[in-house]
Amino acid sequence: MRASVLLIAAVVAVTSAGLVARTLARVGVHQGYAPEQPIAFSHKLHAGDSKVPCLYCHSSARTSRHAGIPSVNVCMNCHSMLTKQTVDIERLKEAVQRRQPIVWTKVHNLPDFVYFNHSQHVGANVACQSCHGPVETMARVRQEAPLTMGWCLDCHRTRGAELQRSRMAWAHADPNAPLPVTDCGKCHY
């Protein structure tokens, strides 16, 4: 009888520990997160149907750590010439007239202890869709990828090997040097 109770307790403890570990591994993972925005901006319409390049609206991604949210003035570059009017376009124009920014809800969030630099990825020709998913098909943007450390490292190992091969082709680098893109200090400080 006592052995049965100990066995059941051990199974419950191991199962509980597994569930706790699984839950903790998902802390900060917002995959599938698709918040409602103050204006129903459709990336499908803009980036997909109209083929507006990501870097037109998110131009700071070329030179900055952050991709940035475009100002309403960037929106008005096109919308001031369009005749089609919707409730959301009227909200946009009203924000411009009142000189008020639109307070968007951030979709892709990383923990504070993670350093991510958009310009380094843009400079390495990493497609926006690699991390953000097929945004050009999304009427409402959602976090497609888990953006976990393991997910990022898998990409860095694959892309890092490609980058190292291209470096070796034009530079006299040490072939045994570790790939800098998998160094802990690159993303954590």
Q: What is the pLDDT of residues 91-113, one digit of tens each?
A: 999 999 999 999 999 999 999 89
64: three-class secondary structure by DSSP: coil
15: three-class secondary structure by DSSP: helix
For the chain, which residues make up each domain, given as ranges?
A: 37-146, 148-189
Q: Which amino acid is at 121?
A: H
27: three-class secondary structure by DSSP: coil
Q: Is the pLDDT of residue 165 over 90?
A: no
The CA distance from 160 to 153, in Å, is: 9
Closest listed residue to residue 147, CA positions, set 67, 30, 69? 30
pTM comes to 0.74
pLDDT-wise least confident of 6-15, 61-70, 118-127, 140-149: 6-15
The CA distance from 169 to 25, in Å, is: 39
- The arithmetic mean of pLDDT across residues 50-70, rounded, is 95
